[in-house]
Structure 1
Amino acid sequence: MRVMIGEDDVLLREGVARLLAEAGLDVVAQAGDADELMSKALAYRPDVAIIDVRMPPHHEHDGLVAAVELRRRLPRTAVLILSQFYEPSLALQLIGDQPEGVGYLLKERVGDVETFLEAINRVAVGGSVLDPEVVGRLLGRQRPDDPLRVLSAGEHAVLAAMAEGKSNAGIADTLHISEASVEKHVTAIFRKLGIRPAGGEHRRVHAVLAFLRGSGERR
């Protein structure tokens, strides 16, 4: 897998690059600002771009803006955003109407190598990953016209775990239920949300999109 890293903190960037190389990934490019990120992404066309939200030149949401543009110009390149902030609206802005191949993690997750690598692999194959903290904040908000109100508590918990990028086995382990129970919940989620039959991963990311639409505007 060919990966590039957009991060202005040199030590963190080099550390992530070394971690990925040791895991057998090919780090084809590194960038320290948003402009360099776009230039190198267009030149190298990586499978996955790992991008910090706040980067030069303005040290605001330059990385996120670059990620949105990158998805527009290179739709086959997956994007994994790293952020220091628990801000669901940034995830929503990046994902838009196309959750396939997008992830949003807090930087602290990089220390959990297994979780970090799993997130990279998941977005690379067209899945979506949301940080558990972001999911928790979305779940903690309520709205009377929530389109997810048709889901049971168990189905909601399974959908939240799906939004974190967990497989059925991972969801079963997290929620302490059987994989058969997870499969039943997933089937019910697709049916209740009106997600038509398609490829398994495609259906899952659209369920996540429904989760985001139902949760992102809560206050």
Structure 2
Amino acid sequence: MIRVVIADDQQLIRAGFRSLLDAEDDIEVVGEAGTGTEVVDVVRRMRPDVVLMDIRMPDGDGLWATEQIATFPELSGTSIVVVTTFEIDEYVARAIRAGASGFLVKDTEPVELIRAVRVVASGDALLSPGVTRRLLERVARGSQATVDASALSVITGREREVLALVGRGLTNTEIGAKLFLSPLTAKTHVSRIMAKLTARDRVQLVVIAYETGLVPLGRAV
């Protein structure tokens, strides 16, 4: 079972998410929270696989809560999906840096919410094409010039090629096709790159690709 905690200050939204997720055979909602402080407490007690995290909450918002959760080693197996709107991209960018594994807009289709929970629970990251380009270019504008490309010196030439394609949003299968590799070999390269660059997941690899200039600002994701 995929164990989920829902954090949102609107009870109606929490109830809607719970009803949707609990209807799935492989997903169980194990907790809810309406404030930042409350979600940190619930997550520490329940140790869920996935947290659906709203940004705008009282008593410690979702950004603060994401940063707090990321500091606890015992919660390293908990993935956070930020649920947001286009209007607060800058907060989402900071949440991704803090350790969030993806993000969704609040009016996403129900099937996409369910898919997001399963994707991050499997250890992958959620890169929603409709939001990723705008978000990551915002990240790049804010930090690209301050990150030294020499940070990539620990990876091989082939790994740089793979990272560039990850930065453009390609899947392992698509990377394999581009570089004449099997999807499994592409996945192995991605895992090694994450280890070498101490990236928590694929989302952080995309951010690194932008910040170091490996993927030029303005390049389509």
Q: Could you tell me how far 1:57 is from its partner in structure 2?
A: 2.9
Residues 81-106 of structure 1: CA deviation (Å, up to 9, x unaligned): 101235443333223286xx711111
Corresponding position of 2:206:
208
**When the two structures are aligned, how many residues end up with a matched partner?**
188
Q: Could you tell me how far 1:71 is from its partner in structure 2?
A: 1.7
When residues 48 and 23 of structure 1 are mapped into structure 2, their CA distance, relative to the original with a 3 A threshold, is: same
Residues 116-156 of structure 1: CA deviation (Å, up to 9, x unaligned): 22221121122111332332325767979797xxx99xx97
Alignment RMSD, CA only? 4.0
For the residues of structure 1 that align with 2:69 and 2:208, how far apart are their CA atoms?
23
Corresponding position of 2:169:
161
Q: Is the 8 A contact 1:2 1:46 kept in 2?
A: yes
SS at match of 2:117: helix
Q: Is the 8 A contact 2:35 2:59 kept in 1?
A: yes
For the residues of structure 1 that align with 2:11 and 2:119, how far apart are their CA atoms?
26
TM score, norm. by length of structure 2: 0.66
For the residues of structure 1 that align with 2:51 and 2:135, how far apart are their CA atoms?
25
Corresponding position of 1:113:
110
Matches within 5 A, 1:82-121: 82-96=83-97, 102-109=101-108, 112-121=109-118
When residues 97 and 64 of structure 1 are mapped into structure 2, their CA distance, relative to the original with a 3 A threshold, is: closer
When residues 56 and 187 of structure 1 are mapped into structure 2, their CA distance, relative to the original with a 3 A threshold, is: farther
Which residue identity does 1:160 align to in structure 2? Answer: R
Greater Cα shift, 75-84 or 132-141: 132-141
For the residues of structure 1 that align with 2:164 and 2:16, how far apart are their CA atoms?
36
For the residues of structure 1 that align with 2:4 and 2:179, how far apart are their CA atoms?
31
When residues 135 and 156 of structure 1 are mapped into structure 2, their CA distance, relative to the original with a 3 A threshold, is: farther
Q: Could you tell me how far 1:19 is from its partner in structure 2?
A: 0.4
Find 2:33's aligned residue among 25, 31, 34.
31
When residues 124 and 43 of structure 1 are mapped into structure 2, their CA distance, relative to the original with a 3 A threshold, is: same
Corresponding position of 2:176:
183
For the residues of structure 2 that align with 1:210 and 1:78, how far apart are their CA atoms?
19
Query: 2:79 aligned with 1:78, yes or no?
Result: yes
For the residues of structure 1 that align with 2:66 and 2:216, how far apart are their CA atoms?
22
For the residues of structure 1 that align with 2:121 and 2:179, how far apart are their CA atoms?
22
For the residues of structure 1 that align with 2:38 and 2:216, how far apart are their CA atoms?
33
For the residues of structure 1 that align with 2:105 and 2:179, how far apart are their CA atoms?
26
Which residue identity does 2:64 align to in structure 1? Answer: V
Q: Is the 8 A contact 1:5 1:13 kept in 2?
A: yes
For the residues of structure 2 that align with 1:22 and 1:201, how far apart are their CA atoms?
37
Corresponding position of 2:128:
131
For the residues of structure 1 that align with 2:169 and 2:66, how far apart are their CA atoms?
24
SS at match of 2:56: coil
Query: 2:45 aligned with 1:43, yes or no?
Result: yes
Q: Which runs of 5+ in 2 are unaligned?
A: 150-159, 182-186, 196-200
TM score, norm. by length of structure 1: 0.67
Q: Is the 8 A contact 2:67 2:98 kept in 1?
A: no
For the residues of structure 1 that align with 2:6 and 2:123, how far apart are their CA atoms?
19
For the residues of structure 2 that align with 1:217 and 1:86, how far apart are their CA atoms?
24
